[in-house]
Chains A and B, each alone.
Chain A
Amino acid sequence: MTHTNQERTSSTSLVNRVFNIIAAFRLGPFLALLVAGAFFYIQNERFILPLNISLILQQTSWIAALAIGQTLVILTGGIDLSNGLVMALGTVIMTTMAVENGVNPFISIGMGFGVTMAFGLLNGLLITRLKLPPFIVTLGTLNIAFALTRLVATTTIGNLPDIQTIFGERISLFGTTFTYGAIVVFPLYILMWFVLRETAFGRHVYAIGDDREAARLMGIPVNRILIQVYVLAGFFYAVGGWLLIGRIGSGDPNAGQTANLDSITAVVIGGTSLFGGRGNILGTLVGALIVGVFINGLQITGVDPLFQRLITGILVIVAVTMDQLSQRIRK
């Protein structure tokens, strides 16, 4: 009797210890990615081929770029519903300016960045000056961006100059080819991870999401940092747009319609708290890859595409539940 009890406690403490290690190093999303990868490999060996990995990265990279901006916003305790359509506006500006208005292709790209960052500024100003909730503000700018996109272009814009589709170019690595677009998000993530960890700006982003009033009382310029975050997010939406142009080889006014939810999914699955203040941007990269792996894996195993959405939905709910539970345990 006592013997079994002792065994039980020692085995639970081992389980606890493993859980603590996973929690301490935020390995949850990473483990989920490994498990998902292993599962699809068992289903179909082709899944693990370098060619397929390269394809997953191409499919994921532009969403991953949007998710950098989304992570910054969510870390401050906000949310950005407008990012997919702001990105679409950015892509049609980049491409129509170059193709139809004869603007230098490089400057056209700069104009696309200008537009997405202006939308970030608009979001930031409405949220800080008028003190409107981010959810409502970005729902509004989502529709504005959608309408503006349609005013600029209604059909896809092709015949793009090379500089605009540069992220679709391929290089050989690990015995297969990767597009530049599939690779470029990795250094961007490393850079933002470093900025969030090692700079005052980064720590203030966390502090604002953790306790905005405390941040204000301690003299952190909360409004200025929030505006910077939304503008910086706009920058990454343009990056995502540029990557997408490279991937599909054209500017598409219909692009990015579900990208807001996809990017939020990547952030949440990556372990960043929707309440703000807690999370790791590298988790978002893993979260984006998890979504990409599921979509690709289900395609490769021939599962009905409906299940892709079903599983993404379940993943989001599981991730948010874990976050809620950990929040409750801490209190």
Chain B
Amino acid sequence: MTPSQDAKPQPILEARGLVKHYGQVVALDGTDFDLYPGEILAVIGDNGAGKSSLIKALSGAIRPDAGEIFLNGEAIHFRNPSDARRFGIETVYQTLAVAPSMNIYENLFLGREIRRPGVLGSVFRLLDKKKMLDDATTYMRDLKFHIQSMTQAVSTLSGGQRQGVAVARSAAFARNVAILDEPTAALGVKESSMVIDLIRNVRARGLPVILISHNMPQVWELADRIHIQRLGKRIAVIKPNDYTMSDGVAIMTGAMNVN
């Protein structure tokens, strides 16, 4: 299951030497990245280590200045997040990317609405609201995610429920990778565990997950491997069983070296 040094399976998503500058600031300084099938890979690092930029590059939200990204071994170039989504890479952003005044099923299908069959859909571009509502209801029930009504505005939901909508949306449409950026950052204990259950459900569906988190206990609990980012580079990849949490923090801050 876990990849050994000798006979590595092919990574699903791979990056080599990614560089990104914002003016004088170097966000990514030639970072590498590997994600293997069926795993939860956590990405940790101090503020400014380039976690967000790495994730944005992998999800098409930014274009790296240099370096290459491979999906199933093939080099790919994303011009925007839609490109990445077309390749089956879905991202839940820290900012959540939900439209608060719109309702739950509209948010689930935001940007890829289902149109009516026939001329009504192709020429007049009318939406099939009933199908979207039905699909959303069935899907959320399958994920054991309980919400009173799919037609209530997202602004009426709790933080955990909103996060749940965003995670469920990415899992519903991802074919290759789901990327979760700080999915429980603003949540209480109970709401966090709801979202963590959801993430486990996503992995159980066979989808590899990239998890960016500051919450070390959560990372050590959920992740199969941990990618540690420091000063714009990947300085280590560890397994949670081989290192303690404080080791992880020490590597992250440069107090400890791993080869």
In the bound complex, do residue A217 and residue B99 qualify as a contact, i.e. CB atoms below 8 Å apart? no
Query: If the complex has contacts A218-B110, A219-B111, A330-B155, are A207 and B99 also in contact, measured as CB distance less than 8 A?
Result: yes
Query: If the complex has contacts A207-B102, A218-B110, A219-B112, are A199 and B97 also in contact, measured as CB distance less than 8 A?
Result: no
In the bound complex, do residue B127 and residue A219 qualify as a contact, i.e. CB atoms below 8 Å apart? no
Chain B, residue nearest A198 (CB)? B126
B96 at the interface (CB under 8 A from A): yes
Q: Which of B79-127 contact A (CB under 8 A)?
A: 80-82, 85, 91, 93, 95-102, 106, 110-113, 115, 124-127
In the bound complex, do residue A219 and residue B98 qualify as a contact, i.e. CB atoms below 8 Å apart? no
In the bound complex, do residue B126 and residue A206 qualify as a contact, i.e. CB atoms below 8 Å apart? no
Contacts of B196 in A (CB 8 A): none
In the bound complex, do residue B100 and residue A210 qualify as a contact, i.e. CB atoms below 8 Å apart? yes
Interchain CA distance A204-B91 in the complex, whole Å: 19
The number of A-B residue pairs with CB atoms under 8 Å apart is: 68
In the bound complex, do residue B93 and residue A217 qualify as a contact, i.e. CB atoms below 8 Å apart? yes
Chain B, residue nearest A217 (CB)? B97
Chain A, residue nearest B116 (CB)? A198
In the bound complex, do residue A214 and residue B125 qualify as a contact, i.e. CB atoms below 8 Å apart? no
Interchain CA distance A330-B100 in the complex, whole Å: 10
In the bound complex, do residue A217 and residue B125 qualify as a contact, i.e. CB atoms below 8 Å apart? no
Q: Which of A263-290 contact B (CB under 8 A)?
A: 277-278
Query: If the complex has contacts A199-B127, A203-B127, are A277 and B115 also in contact, measured as CB distance less than 8 A?
Result: no
In the bound complex, do residue B101 and residue A215 qualify as a contact, i.e. CB atoms below 8 Å apart? no
A213 at the interface (CB under 8 A from B): yes
Contacts of B93 in A (CB 8 A): 217
B61 at the interface (CB under 8 A from A): yes
Contacts of B99 in A (CB 8 A): 206-207, 210-211, 214-215, 277
In the bound complex, do residue A200 and residue B95 qualify as a contact, i.e. CB atoms below 8 Å apart? no
In the bound complex, do residue B110 and residue A214 qualify as a contact, i.e. CB atoms below 8 Å apart? yes
In the bound complex, do residue B127 and residue A198 qualify as a contact, i.e. CB atoms below 8 Å apart? yes
Interchain CA distance A219-B91 in the complex, whole Å: 11
In the bound complex, do residue B81 and residue A217 qualify as a contact, i.e. CB atoms below 8 Å apart? yes
B186 to chain A, nearest CB (A): 14
Interface footprint category on A: 20 to 34
A216 at the interface (CB under 8 A from B): yes
A319 to chain B, nearest CB (A): 18
In the bound complex, do residue A213 and residue B95 qualify as a contact, i.e. CB atoms below 8 Å apart? yes
Contacts of A199 in B (CB 8 A): 124-127
Interface footprint category on B: 20 to 34
| Contact pick for B127, options A200, A220, A278, CB 8 Å | A200
Interchain CA distance A219-B96 in the complex, whole Å: 14
Contacts of A278 in B (CB 8 A): 101
A201 at the interface (CB under 8 A from B): yes
In the bound complex, do residue A211 and residue B100 qualify as a contact, i.e. CB atoms below 8 Å apart? yes
Interchain CA distance A330-B155 in the complex, whole Å: 7
Q: Which of A188-203 contact B (CB under 8 A)?
A: 198-201, 203
In the bound complex, do residue B97 and residue A214 qualify as a contact, i.e. CB atoms below 8 Å apart? yes
Q: Which of A128-178 contact B (CB under 8 A)?
A: none
In the bound complex, do residue A214 and residue B96 qualify as a contact, i.e. CB atoms below 8 Å apart? yes
Interchain CA distance A198-B121 in the complex, whole Å: 10
Contacts of A216 in B (CB 8 A): 81
In the bound complex, do residue A218 and residue B101 qualify as a contact, i.e. CB atoms below 8 Å apart? no
Interchain CA distance A199-B116 in the complex, whole Å: 10
B116 to chain A, nearest CB (A): 9
Chain A, residue nearest B110 (CB)? A218
Interchain CA distance A204-B99 in the complex, whole Å: 10
Contacts of B95 in A (CB 8 A): 213-214, 217
A198, A199, A219, most chain B CB atoms within 10 A: A219
In the bound complex, do residue A220 and residue B111 qualify as a contact, i.e. CB atoms below 8 Å apart? yes
Interchain CA distance A199-B91 in the complex, whole Å: 25
Contacts of B106 in A (CB 8 A): 203
In the bound complex, do residue B101 and residue A277 qualify as a contact, i.e. CB atoms below 8 Å apart? yes
B155 to chain A, nearest CB (A): 5
Contacts of B61 in A (CB 8 A): 217
Interchain CA distance A217-B94 in the complex, whole Å: 11
Contacts of B80 in A (CB 8 A): 219
Chain B, residue nearest A200 (CB)? B113
Query: If the complex has contacts A217-B93, A220-B111, are A211 and B127 also in contact, measured as CB distance less than 8 A?
Result: no
Chain B, residue nearest A213 (CB)? B95
Between A and B, 9 residue pairs with Cβ closer than 8 Å are A198-B126, A198-B127, A199-B124, A199-B126, A206-B102, A207-B110, A216-B81, A277-B99, A278-B101
| Apart from A217-B95, A219-B112, A220-B110: 6 A-B pairs, beta carbons within 8 A | A199-B124, A206-B102, A213-B97, A214-B96, A219-B81, A220-B111
Task: Give 6 closest A-B pairs by Cβ, nearest first.
Answer: A219-B82, A218-B111, A210-B99, A214-B97, A219-B111, A217-B97
